Amino acid sequence: MDCTVDVFLLRVDRLLKRWPEKKERKRRWFTLAQAAMAVEEGDLVILLLRLAAPASPTEPRLSFRPQAARRS
């Protein structure tokens, strides 16, 4: 099954001490390169590394087409 994902880079100005899913999730901060090493999904690794790469003046900031869906 294929799916489409929109990814948005966000700047964080402040953090809440409490949020609705606080008991269910643990917040951790990563650089994009660290995040790429922490995930197991190959297409997500590629996406994170491309976001981390400096933009070339002749190439768009991000050009990503995921591979066909794989089953584990």
- The share of the chain scoring above pLDDT 90, in percent, equals 24
pTM: 0.58
* pLDDT at residue number 24: 94
pLDDT digits (tens, 9 = 90+) for 32-63: 899 999 998 888 899 899 888 877 666 655 55
Structure confidence at residue 63 (pLDDT): 52
The CB-side HSE value for 20 (13 A sphere, CA atoms) comes to 0
pLDDT at site 41: 87
- At 51 the three-state DSSP class reads helix
d(CA 58, CA 68): 28
CA-based angle 9:11:8, to the nearest 5? Answer: 15
67 or 72: whose pLDDT is higher? 67
